[in-house]
C-alpha cells in the first residue's frame, strides 16, 4: 500500500552513504542530512580501513617499512615508494646513482598514467557509462605488464631501495614502453577525447558542478589536480623539484574553472605530460649502476626531516623524526586525499545528491590512503 | 627580500624580547638532539637536509598567533603531527605550513606540552584544514585541542579507550 509521505517544509532526514557503496570506491561513509534531494549537511566518516601504518613504522627498521608504503595508495604505489626512499635518503645522507633516479621517474610516471586511467574509468562508471572502463583497463593492463616485468609485482610494488632500485630495466622494457607511448598517444584523442571528453552527456553532468575556489584549496590544504583545477599552479615536481625532474621539459596543466570538468581536464592533460617525461627519460637514460652504496643498518642522525613528492592525487609528505636509533622515532604521513576530502562537506552543502556523487568522483579518492 | 626572510621577519613578532638571531649561528639546528626542547624562537634551517626552511619553537598558547601570521602571508597548513617524548615528560605538536604555488618555504612550528596534561588551543578557526588533523592527533596521542568544535576520534573506532601512538602503548 502506498502511503504518501508529507514532509514539513523544514523537515530533513539522515541518509547514510556507505561504507559499502559502489560510488565511494572503498569503505568511505558519508553521513548526509537531506532536504529531499538536496544535501543540507555532509559529514565524511573515516577509519573503516585504518591499519595504523605509523605505529608499524615505529615498530620496524627503515627498510622494513618499504612494503607498507605500497599498501596506502595502491593506485600510485610507486610514488609512495619514492617518497619514503627520498626522505630516508635525505635523513641518512645516501647518494643515489643517476640511472636509478631516471628509472624511478620512468616507473613513477607510468604508474601515474595507470592511476589516472583507473580514475577515469571509475569516474565514468559512477556517472553511468560502462564502456570507457573497458578501453581504460586495456591500456592500464599494458602498463601493469611493463611494470611487472621490472618490479616483480602488479599492484603493491616494493621496487625502490635506499640508494636506488632493486632491479635494472632491460631492452624489452624500453622497447615496450616506447611502443606504449605511441599507442596511448594514438588512442587519447580518438577514444578518450572523441568518445568521452566531448560527449554532451558528460559535459552536462560535470560542467559547473562541484565548484571549489582557490581560496578553499588553500584553507583546506587541497593539492594535486584539485588545486590545479582551481587555477593554482602547484606541483611538487616543479615547485620543490626532487629526483631528476628538473632535467625534463614538461608543463603543469592548470584550469581555472574550479568545477569537476576542470579537474577532469587536468588529469587528462597530465597523462600527456607524463608521456613526455617518460619519452625524454628514455632518450637521456644514462648508464651505470642502479644501486649506490648504502649501509645495511641505517641510523640517521637525530632530527626533524620532511620530504614531499607529487602523487597522482597531490602532495604526499613524510614528516620523519629520528632519535639516532635504527627505527623511525615518529613518522607522519601527510596523504593528499585526506586534505582533499576535508573540503567535501563545505562544497557539497546545497548540492543535489547525484551532483555530489559526481563531485566526489572528481576528487579521485583512494580510501586506504586517507585512512592509512 | 626573499620569501624566507619576509616570513622570518613576520614570525619574529611572536618573540618581541628576542634579539635578531645571527643566521649562520642557527644553521646547526637542523639536527639538534630531538629529545630535549630547543630554545624559543625562529631559526633558519638548511632545506636540502631538513626539507624545511624555517623552524619556530613557541609556547602552546602561541600556536594560534603563529597560524594567523602564516595565514596572512598566504600559507596553507600541510599537516599536524604529534610526537611523544616520555623521557622528558612532554608531548610535542608539529605544524607544517607551506606555500601553494610560487617559491617554496616550508615552516615547521614546534610546541611542547606536559605529557600528563596535553592541552593546546585549536587553530581550526584559522585553517579549517586543522579540523581533521587535530582530530587525528587527539585520536593517536590524546592531545586535546581547546575550542575545537568536534574533537572526536577520526580513524580509530569510537569506543577505543587507548591512544596508540603514545610510546608506552603496546598492542
* Measured distance CA(B49)–CA(B29) in Å, rounded: 11
| A342 vs B contacts (CB less than 8 Å) | 128-129, 131-132
Q: Is the CB of B78 less than 8 angstroms away from the CB of A332?
A: no
Cβ B47 vs Cβ B109: under 8 Å: no
Whole-number percent of chain A with pLDDT over 90: 56
- What whole-number distance in Å separates Cα of residue B19 and Cα of residue B26? 13
CATH number of the domain encompassing residue A311:
1.10.645.10
A6 — pLDDT class (breaks 50, 70, 90): low
The pLDDT of A89-102, averaged and rounded, is 91
Task: Name which of B30, B76, B81 is nearest A221 (Cβ-Cβ).
Answer: B76
Report if residue A13 sits inside a domain.
no
- For A:39-68, CB contacts with B below 8 A are 46-47, 50, 52, 54-55, 58
Closest CA to B141 of B82, B78, B69: B82
Contacts of A346 in chain B (CB under 8 A): 128
Residue B73: burial class (beta carbons within 10 Å; 0-12, 13-18, 19+): middle
Interface of B with A (CB under 8 A): 30-35, 49-52, 55, 74, 76-79, 81, 83-84, 94, 96, 99-104, 106, 108, 127-129, 131-132, 140, 153-157, 164-165, 171
Is it true that the peptide bond before A19 is cis, omega within 30 degrees of 0?
yes
Using a pLDDT cut of 70, give the percent of chain A over it: 97
DSSP state of B110: E
Sort out which chain B residues have CB atoms less than 8 A from A322's CB and list them: 34
Lowest mean pLDDT among A51-65, A250-264, A270-284, B34-48: B34-48
ipTM: 0.86
SS3 B94: strand
pLDDT classification of B27: cutoffs 50, 70, 90: very low
CA distance A45 to chain B (A): 7
Question: Distance from CA of residue A49 to its chain's centroid?
Answer: 17
- CATH for B3-13+41-146 (3.30.1540.10, 3.40.50.300, 3.90.1150.10, 3.30.460.80): 3.30.460.80
What does the pLDDT look like over A283-296, one tens digit per residue?
Answer: 999 988 988 888 88
pLDDT of A113-130, one tens digit each? Answer: 999 999 999 999 888 888
- A372:B55 CB<8 A: no
Q: Cell 594567523 identifies what position?
A: B68
Tell me the residue range of the domain where A184 lies. Answer: 51-338
Q: What average pLDDT does range A212-236 have in this prediction?
A: 92
Please tell me the pTM assigned to this model: 0.88
Q: Which of B85, B155, B158, B167 to mutate to test the interface with A (most CBs of A within 10 A)?
A: B155
What is the distance in angstroms between the Cα of A286 and the nearest Cα belonging to chain B? 24
Domain ranges of chain B: 3-13+41-146
What would the 3-class secondary structure string for B129-169 be?
A: CHHHHHHHHHHHHCCEEECCCCCCCCCCCCCCCCCCCCCCC
Residue A162 lies in a domain: yes
Considering only the beta carbons, identify the residue of A46, A304, A334 that sits closest to B34: A304
Domain membership of residue A282 (yes or no) is yes
Q: Let me know if residue A272 belongs to a domain.
A: yes
Residue B108 reports pLDDT greater than 80: yes
> Which residues does residue B94 pair with via DSSP β-bridges, in sequence order?
B81, B110
Interface check for A154 against chain B (CB to CB < 8 A): the answer is no
Å between B15 CA and nearest CA of chain A: 22
Report the pLDDT value the prediction gives residue A28, as an integer from 0 to 100: 87
Question: Which residues does chain A have within 8 Å of residue B74's beta carbon, measured at their own beta carbons?
Answer: 218
Q: Kindly state whether residue A357 falls inside one of the protein's structural domains.
A: no
- When pLDDT is cut at 50, 70 and 90, the band that residue B48 belongs to is confident
Return the ∠ at Cα A362 (arms to A317 and A219), rounded to 5°. 50
Whether residue A337 has pLDDT greater than 90? yes
CB distance B35–A54 less than 8 Å? no
Residue A17 resides in a domain: no
pLDDT digits (tens, 9 = 90+) for B68-95: 999 988 899 999 999 999 888 889 999 9
Dist CA B43 CA A118 (whole Å): 44
Domain annotation covers residue A346:
no
A343: in domain:
no
Q: Work out the angle at residue A84's Cα, subtended by the Cα atoms of residues A83 and A86, and round it to the nearest 5 degrees.
A: 65
Instruction: Name the residue among A47, A58, A330 with its Cβ closest to that of B156.
Output: A47
- Alpha carbon dihedral A118, A119, A120, A125, in 10-degree steps, equals 90
- Domain total of chain A: 1
Average pLDDT over residues A6-29: 78
Amino acid at each position: 500500500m502506498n502511503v504518501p509521505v508529507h514532509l514539513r517544509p523544514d523537515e530533513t532526514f539522515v541518509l547514510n552513504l556507505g561504507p559499502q557503496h559502489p560510488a565511494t570506491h572503498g569503505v568511505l561513509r558519508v553521513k548526509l542530512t537531506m532536504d529531499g534531494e538536496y544535501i543540507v549537511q555532509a559529514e565524511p566518516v573515516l577509519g573503516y580501513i585504518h591499519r595504523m601504518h605509523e605505529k608499524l613504522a615505529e615498530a620496524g627498521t627503515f627498510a622494513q617499512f618499504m612494503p607498507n608504503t605500497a599498501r596506502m595508495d595502491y593506485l600510485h604505489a610507486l610514488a609512495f615508494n619514492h617518497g619514503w626512499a627520498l626522505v630516508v635518503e635525505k635523513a641518512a645522507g645516501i647518494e643515489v646513482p643517476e640511472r636509478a633516479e631516471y628509472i624511478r621517474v620512468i616507473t613513477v610516471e607510468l604508474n601515474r598514467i595507470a592511476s589516472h586511467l583507473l580514475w577515469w574509468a571509475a569516474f565514468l562508471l559512477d556517472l553511468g557509462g560502462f564502456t570507457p572502463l573497458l578501453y581504460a583497463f586495456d591500456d592500464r593492463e599494458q602498463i601493469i605488464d611493463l611494470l611487472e616485468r621490472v618490479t616483480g609485482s602488479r599492484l603493491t610494488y616494493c621496487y625502490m631501495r635506499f640508494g636506488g632500485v632493486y632491479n635494472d630495466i632491460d631492452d624489452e622494457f624500453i622497447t615496450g614502453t616506447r611502443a606504449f607511448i605511441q599507442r596511448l598517444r594514438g588512442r587519447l584523442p580518438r577514444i578518450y577525447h572523441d568518445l568521452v571528453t566531448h560527449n554532451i552527456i558528460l559535459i552536462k553532468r560535470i560542467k559547473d558542478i562541484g565548484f571549489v575556489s582557490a581560496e578553499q584549496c588553500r584553507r583546506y590544504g587541497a593539492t594535486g589536480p584539485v588545486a590545479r583545477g582551481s587555477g593554482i599552479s602547484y606541483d611538487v615536481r616543479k615547485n620543490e623539484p626532487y629526483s631528476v625532474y628538473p632535467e625534463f621539459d614538461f608543463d603543469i596543466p592548470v584550469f581555472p574553472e574550479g568545477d569537476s570538468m576542470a579537474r577532469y581536464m587536468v588529469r587528462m592533460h597530465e597523462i600527456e605530460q607524463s608521456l613526455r617525461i617518460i619519452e625524454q627519460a628514455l632518450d637521456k637514460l644514462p648508464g651505470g649502476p642502479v644501486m649506490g652504496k648504502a649501509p645495511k643498518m641505517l641510523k640517521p642522525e637525530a632530527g626533524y626531516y620532511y620530504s614531499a613528492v607529487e602523487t597522482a592525487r597531490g602532495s604526499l609528505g613524510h614528516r620523519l623524526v629520528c632519535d639516532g636509533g635504527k627505527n623511525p622515532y615518529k613518522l607522519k604521513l601527510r596523504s593528499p586525499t585526506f586534505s582533499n576530502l576535508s573540503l567535501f562537506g563545505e562544497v557539497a552543502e546545497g548540492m543535489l545528491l547525484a551532483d555530489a556523487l559526481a563531485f566526489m568522483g572528481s576528487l579521485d579518492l583512494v580510501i586506504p590512503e586517507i585512512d592509512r | 627580500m626573499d620569501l624566507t626572510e619576509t616570513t622570518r621577519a613576520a614570525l619574529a613578532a611572536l618573540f618581541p624580547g628576542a634579539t635578531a638571531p645571527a643566521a649562520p649561528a642557527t644553521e646547526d639546528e637542523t639536527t639538534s638532539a630531538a629529545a630535549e626542547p630547543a630554545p624559543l624562537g625562529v631559526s633558519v634551517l638548511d632545506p636540502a637536509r631538513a626539507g624545511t626552511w624555517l623552524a619556530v619553537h613557541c609556547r602552546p598558547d602561541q600556536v594560534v598567533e603563529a597560524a594567523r601570521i602564516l595565514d596572512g602571508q598566504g600559507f596553507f597548513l600541510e599537516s599536524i603531527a604529534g610526537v611523544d617524548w616520555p623521557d622528558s615528560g612532554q608531548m610535542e605538536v608539529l605544524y607544517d605550513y607551506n606555500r601553494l604555488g610560487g617559491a617554496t618555504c616550508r615552516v615547521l612550528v614546534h610546541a611542547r606540552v606536559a605529557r600528563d596534561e596535553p592541552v593546546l588551543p585549536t587553530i581550526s578557526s584559522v585553517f579549517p584544514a586543522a579540523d581533521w588533523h587535530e582530530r587525528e592527533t587527539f585520536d593517536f596521542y590524546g592531545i586535546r585541542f581547546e575550542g575545537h568544535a568536534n574533537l572526536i576520534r577520526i580513524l580509530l573506532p569510537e569506543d577505543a579507550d587507548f591512544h596508540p601512538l603514545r610510546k608506552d602503548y603496546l598492542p
